[in-house]
Amino acid sequence: MQVPASRYTSSSRAYKEALTQIEYGSELDVRKVQAKGEIYWQGQAWKLGKAFVGERVGVREGAQDGQYDVFWGSHRIAQIDKVTKVVISGKSLR
């Protein structure tokens, strides 16, 4: 039986130090996530999470009045509810 080290070969793909910047359509309001994991949008700070610090996210109107969807690329990562002033994310976001 062979050991893993004898079967290893390096990847033929080049490693990218940084991902290419995500492009958002004109229907999204683009914001950069700040050091505390917040975006500033419509005069208020909204907490998205530190995992997105430095990333650009897009905000667009949601299905219901006063609700807005937040996207990182094509993934909806949060929902801002301006009526209750709450950010819904994680498992609560369905």
57 pLDDT higher than 80: yes
- According to the model, what pLDDT value does residue 28 have? 97
Cβ burial, residue 21 (10 Å; 0-12/13-18/19+)? exposed
- According to the model, what pLDDT value does residue 78 have? 96
Task: State the average pLDDT for the chain.
Answer: 93
Mean pLDDT of 74-91: 93
Mean pLDDT of 4-11: 91
Domain ranges for the chain: 27-92
76 pLDDT higher than 90: yes
Q: Which amino acid is at 18?
A: A
Residue 38 contacts residue 58 (beta carbons within 8 Å)? no
94 pLDDT higher than 90: no
Give residue-wise pLDDT tens across range 10-56.
Answer: 999 998 888 888 999 999 999 999 999 999 999 999 999 999 999 99
